[in-house]
Each structure stands twice: as C-alpha cells, then as structure tokens.
Amino acid sequence: MLFPVTQSEEEYRKLEPIMKASGTTLDARDFYWAVNLAFHSAESEIYEREHARMIADLPEKWGLLLAPLKARPLASIRWLDVGCGPGVLGGVVAAILGDGVKHAVFVDPNANMLRLCEAKAREWRFSTEFVQGCISELESKEEFDLITCNSVLHHVVELRDFCGTVARLLTAGGLFASCYDPRREVTFDRVLARRRALARCGRAWRVAPRAMKKVYRRFVPSSNGEQIIEAEANRELMRAGAISRPLDIRSIWAVTDFHVPEQLGGFGRGISEEELRSYLPGLTMREYFSYCFFGHGPIAAPFRYAERLLFKRRDPHGALFGASWTSS
C-alpha cells in the first residue's frame, strides 16, 4: 500500500498488460494507486482474519528486531509506523518496549485501515497521531528513533526513494526495522524449492476435499476472503471509473504486491539483502533473518514444528525476511 516519491515511471509501466485488460484510461502510476486503495479498503475489515498466521508470529519476529531498543529510558522513543494498516503492530511494539515509547505516528494511505488503527490505539499507553497519506508527505524536520514497516516494502514500487526518505527521518542512533517481505534470493534457492515440494506432498491429503469443495461452490455461493476482496475492490474501481472491465484477484495481487515473485506478469522479483544495502548506504544492518521455510500456505503439524526449529537455528533459506538497521 504505499508511497509515491520520485523515481522513473518505467517500474509502473510493467503494469501495462494488466491495465490493458482492465480497460483503464489512467496512467500507470494512477492505476497502481487506484487498485491499491480499492484493494486495501476491501481488505480492511477482514485483514486480521486473512493474516492470522502472520499476526501470530509478530511477537517472535519483532522481539528480535527491536532488541536494541529495549534498554532505552522510559518514554524516550518517537516511533513512526509506515503502512500501519489496521494497527496490528501497535500492541506488539507496546508489549516489547513497554513504556519506552513516548509518541507514535501511524501513516497509511487508506482511510479504512487508519480508522481501525485509531480504534486500537485507545488501549496503548503512549500518545498517538494518525496521518492519511505517504511517508514522503511527513515534515522533513521530523525525526524518529524507531521506524517500522510490517508487510510493506513489497508494496512499494519506488523502493530506492522510499528507503532514502526513511534514512532522512531517522535520528542518529535510531532503528529502522521491516518484516514480512519476500526474499529475491528465493528464485534460485534450491533448498527452499525442495522444502516447498515436500510440504506440498504433506498437503496432498487435502486434494480430495478441495475437489469436492469446487463442485459444491458451483451450486452454493462462497464468501471466502479472496472473493470478498475481489468483488469489493472491483465495485469500487468501477464506481470510480478507474476500470471498465473487472480484474480477477490474481491481477489485483500482482498490482498491490508489486515485488512478490511468481505472480501474474512475472515482474515481481522479491527484495534482496544486497539491494537494501545499496538503498540504505548510511545505515548499518543490525539484524537479518529469513523464515517461512515451507512456503506461504497452510502446513501440516510436523512442518510447523520444523519451521520453528529452523527459525531458531537462523536457517537462511526462508521465503520471507526481516531486517533492522541503525543510523550512525
């Protein structure tokens, strides 16, 4: 869901085949934003249900990323959460850092997401501020001791400029942390490919029930998350005149999850550690780990146990990554 800055339009032009299929008259950049805002509005009310697995893992992952700040004095941290969504990170950070946070600014382009975040904030013990828009719209004089992005970077088309803005807003000695984004290295990671294949075999017992469900759905309408999001997003896009033909959910995801590999259009490649280092030259990496070692779908109990074990061992062959950086 995020963040216009200034970069070449070439990246946005990768969306042109999807744009053509939708019948849009918007330029590529405006099309990207229209689809993103419609998608996240449609997703907002069911976000936590659809991302339950991710949310359950947040304390473990963010506990590692925020470790350098645990010794900070009480009420000393100014925190910026970029792409805050419905506020799932607020309670997690509050639990990890205790009373260390003095003030938090939550930024998101989507009004529905921001409204949900604001409702959660009533339970947090630090002062809060909410900004509908983009990180680039914050006052350049503002600085933060902590900047977080959870499941955000893969949405950002203009990633180099976005990282530059983050570095500019970070105080000396401040921490920037991100999590739940796809590793570019997965495209040539044979270990991960073998594990995914093994997990698929472990899910084979689900094939027959799925086949029966497909038959059932032909006669009884379903209301799963994908269908809800697809229908609501298309309704909003058509109402706004952004498209003249509906988009299927795969096309919508390809636009919104711009950097995610193995999607429609094939332009998503993930985000590499080397790429981030080049975008954040003034920052020093403090933490880097991978996880999601058997793919993104539901996995059987033995694989869940193996997932936890591999994470504790700091196995490098996960599909997703988390990282933290400090400014000098």
Does position 220 have pLDDT exceeding 50, yes or no?
no
Q: How many Cβ atoms from other residues are within 10 Å of residue 177's Cβ? A: 24
Helices 225-239 and 249-256 pack at an angle, to 10 degrees, of: 80
Region 165-179 average pLDDT? 96
Whole-number pLDDT of residue 97: 95
- What's the pLDDT tens digit per position in 281-300? 999 999 999 999 998 777 78
Q: Rounded distance, CA 291 to CA 106, Å?
A: 26
Q: What is the pLDDT of residue 302?
A: 87
Which residue did the predictor score with more confidence, 304 or 202?
304
Nearest-10 crossing angle of helices 52-65, 88-97: 30
pLDDT for position 298:
75
- Angle between helix 88-97 and 111-120 (nearest 10): 40
Please check the confidence at residue 219 and state whether its pLDDT lies above 60.
no
Q: What is the pLDDT of residue 29?
A: 95
pLDDT of residue 287: 97
The overall average pLDDT reported for the chain is 90
Q: Which of 270, 261, 308, 317 is nearest to 289 (CA)?
A: 317
- pLDDT given at position 204: 53
**pLDDT band for position 8 (50/70/90)?**
low
pTM: 0.91
Q: How confident is the model at residue 215 (pLDDT cuts 50, 70, 90)?
A: very low
pLDDT for 9 equals 82
The pLDDT of residue 6: 45
> What integer pLDDT is reported at residue 203 of this predicted model?
59
> 222: pLDDT confidence band, cut at 50, 70 and 90?
very low
Average pLDDT over residues 105-109: 97
Look at residue 217 and tell me whether its pLDDT is greater than 50.
no
| Least confident window among 3-12, 43-52, 59-68, 71-80 | 3-12
Per-position b or e across 119-146, b if 16+ CB within 10 A of its CB? ebbeeeebebebbeebbbebeeeebbbb
pLDDT band, very low/low/confident/very high, at 301 (cuts 50, 70, 90): confident
Helix or strand holding residue 323 (H, E): strand 320-327
Rounded to whole angstroms, the Cα distance separating 302 from 81 reads: 35
The number of C-alpha atoms within 13 Å of 97 and in the hemisphere containing its C-beta is: 31
Q: Position 265: which residue type? A: G
Widest distance between CA atoms in the chain: 61
User: Residue 176 forms beta bridges with which residues?
Assistant: 147, 325
The CATH architecture assigned to 1-328 reads 3-Layer(aba) Sandwich (3.40)
| H or E segment and range at residue 322 | strand 320-327
pLDDT > 70: percent of the chain: 91
Is the model more confident about 58 or about 222?
58
